[in-house]
Structure 1
Amino acid sequence: MKSEKEKFHLVRSWGPLFAQSFNDWMEDRALRFSAALAYYSIFAMAPLVIIAISVAGLIFGQQAARGEVYQQIEWLLGSKGAAEIQTLIQASSDAHKSLLATVVGIVTLLIGASGVFGQLKDALNSIWGVRLKPGGGVMASLQEYLLSFSMVLGVGFLLIISLLLSAVLQAVNNFMTGYLPIPSFVMPLTALISFAILVVLFALIFKVLPDVEIGWEDVWIGATVTAILFAVGKYLLSLYLGTSSVASSFGAAGALILVLVWVYYSTTIFLLGAEFTKVYADRYGSGIQPSSKACFVSAEMRAEQGLAKAEEAAPAA
């Protein structure tokens, strides 16, 4: 446990922490990872939401599930962005009515979503200065794919939990407001639940996805800060998307462009949170060490990749 003096010193250090995080974020060229993730999201977004609606439909019914999912999308993208995504999803749903199209859609989801998490893992490994040791072979590649697929299932599970909690809150609210003259509490509690699920999701990504060993305390602090950055960035981004003509400027491709813009900037914010997590763990936490199947990236390798810093990672094992 930290002493009161240590806690006070930590509070005073937030400014330098964020400054160092932003500096590392710039030096690690995080924007290129955001661009790659935006590309992979093209193949995963619509199929993932369609399958989420189908699974949630087994619990709520298709219409109710569709409304709940769109409500979550609206929380992320704003009303205008959600309307554009709804158009994209509807077009994809119409195209998947045949058995063959459904199978192709599922395969596309698995490839695209696994690619998203695979690219995200590469981004975190690069930001945290580690890489896989050479010579893993086919089994290592298979393990990487299974890990990415497991993350896809984990995200889907968290989405279902979010929908269930939202439905329970709505039911309780309807019951109480029918008997008591109290204002609705669904919106603030739903926002709080969405934030808590973001924290859990980011914590799982930081702990499970990259090839590092990092303490849970550092993970939770980093995930919470990342969720705050993400929520603030989401609000600003939704204002921008809601007032700009990004989607309408591209006609029929407007919804697709909207997804790309949202994923690009959202991933940029997330990677800034990852940089903060690393800086915090190194300064005040237990530090970040490579896992048994990974090693630090040497200064020479970082220089070859154009990622050299004033403070380099330890030499490769």
Structure 2
Amino acid sequence: MSPRQVFRLLKAAVREWNEDEASRLAAALAYYTVFSLAPLLILVIAIAGFFFDSATVRDQIVAQVQSLMGNSGAEFVRTVLDSANRPDENSSLLASAISIILLLAGATGVLTQLQDSLNKVWNVEQRPGLGLISLVRKRLLSFGMILGIGFLLLVSLVASSFIAGFSEFFQAIMPGLDSLAQLLDFLLSFLLTTILFAAIFKFLPDVHITWGDVWFGSAATAILFSRLSWV
């Protein structure tokens, strides 16, 4: 691309940013994320906990947050999980049922907001439907995304355990392979992040998108997302 084409591309990006009110959408998404973080993490841990020890899953999540947000972010997530998992011996069956409903509503809130933001940015008209039916459909779709996040976490745990064992085995035979293990871990994280963004771009917006159209944008988004750990 020539410098003039690059300038035109950046100019168009800034214009679209302002027209779509991207700053307002980002603020709304951050607001929902704060309230959805605890229930979202609890559901993901519960899903992964069927196959792994819950403490191991928690430690893996905290480690991933620490790599992206530093010690302060990891400590915040750890505090949120500790507070959310604190047992209440006096809770009744009705209170527990209400808590589960609120948990699901809170966890899916951030994904519903993300769906609305993507529809706005991509100039997508929402699919017509009755109010309650449309709301239920959005929540079910968001819950399906949560199940997908839990599955990707399972894959990450299995692959990370394999890479750790691989590193320890070959380190004893040929010292100096730590860099190879780090490269494999980075590639794994990049692959899973790309798949997650691809699923978001494919299923959340109210428009039909082929898989071939989402992979490039998903990979670019994953690269930008991974660079946050270096900022």
TM-score (normalizing by structure 2): 0.83
Q: Is the 8 A contact 2:25 2:117 kept in 1?
A: yes
Task: State yes or no: 1:228 paired with 2:220.
Answer: no
Corresponding residue to 1:150 among 125, 144, 168:
144
Q: Name the SS for the 1:94 alignment partner.
A: coil
CA deviation vs aligned residue, 1:76-133 (integer Å, no higher than 9, x gap): 2112321222122212222567765765553333101221111111111111112225
Is the Cα contact below 8 Å between 1:47 and 1:105 reproduced in 2? no
Higher relative contact order (CA 8 A, sep 6+): 1
Whole-angstrom CA distance in 1 between matches of 2:5 and 2:117: 26
Equivalent residue runs for 1:81-92 within 5 Å: 81-92=73-84
* TM superposition shift of 1:11: 11
Instruction: Supply the distance in 2 between the matched residues of 1:160 and 1:207 (Cα, whole angstroms).
Output: 21
Matches within 5 A, 1:269-288: none
Which sits farther off after the overlay, 105-114 or 67-76?
105-114
Q: Which residue of 1 aligns with 2:123?
A: 129
1:208 corresponds in structure 2 to 203
**CA RMSD between the two structures:** 2.8
Show CA shifts across 1:234-283 (max 9, x none). 432xxxxxxxxxxxxxxxxxxxxxxxxxxxxxxxxxxxxxxxxxxxxxxx
**Counterpart residue identity of residue 218, structure 1:** D
Gaps of 5+ in 1: 1-8, 237-317
Question: Are 1:199 and 1:227, in contact at CA under 8 Å, matched by a contact in 2?
Answer: yes
Alignment partners' CA distance in 1, 2:49 and 2:151: 14
- Of 17, 26, 43, 1:34 maps to 26
Partner of 2:176: 182
Determine helix, strand or coil for the equivalent of 1:132: coil
Q: 1:218 to 1:79 in 2, by over 3 A?
A: same
How far apart are 1:64 and its partner, in Å?
Answer: 2.8
3-state SS of paired residue (2:86): helix
Question: Is 107-116 or 128-137 further displaced after alignment?
Answer: 128-137
Q: Given that residues 47 and 150 in structure 2 are in contact (C-alpha distance below 8 angstroms), is that contact kept between their aligned partners in structure 1?
A: no
CA distance in 1, matches of 2:136, 2:229: 34
Pairing 1:68-107 to 2, within 5 Å after superposition:
68-95=60-87, 103=97, 105-107=99-101
Amino acid at match of 1:154: G
Q: Residue 52 of structure 1 contacts residue 160 of structure 1 at CA under 8 Å; is this kept in 2?
A: no
Check 1:94–1:212 CA distance in 2 against 1; reply closer, same or farther (3 A cut).
same
**Could you tell me which residue of structure 2 aligns to residue 22 of structure 1?**
14
The letter for the 2-side match of 1:206 is F
- Label 1:49 to 1:178 Cα distance change in 2 as closer, same or farther (>3 A): farther
Cα distance change of structure 1 residues 20 and 31 upon mapping to structure 2, 3 Å threshold: same
Q: CA deviation at 1:24?
A: 0.8
Asked if structure 2 preserves the Cα contact closer than 8 Å seen for 1:57 and 1:65, the reply is yes
What per-residue deviation string (whole Å, max 9, x for no partner) do you get for residues 194-247 of structure 1?
1211111111111111012333333111111112222223432xxxxxxxxxxx
Q: Which amino acid aligns with 1:140?
A: S
CA distance in 2, matches of 1:122, 1:116: 10
Say if 1:41 and 1:112, in contact at 8 Å, map to a contact too.
Answer: no
53 and 211 in structure 1: CA distance in 2 versus 1, 3 angstrom threshold: closer
| Equivalent residues, number | 228
Separation in structure 2 between the aligned mates of residue 180 and residue 111 of structure 1, nearest angstrom: 51
Residue of 191, 197, 218 corresponding to 1:196: 191
Letter in 2 for 1:21: A
- Paired with 2:219 and 2:84, the residues of 1 have a C-alpha distance of 34
The answer as to whether partners of 1:203 and 1:219 remain within 8 angstroms in 2 is yes
What TM-score, normalized to structure 1? 0.63
What secondary structure, in the 3-state scheme, does the structure 2 residue paired with 1:214 have? coil
What is the Cα deviation at residue 183 of structure 1?
2.5
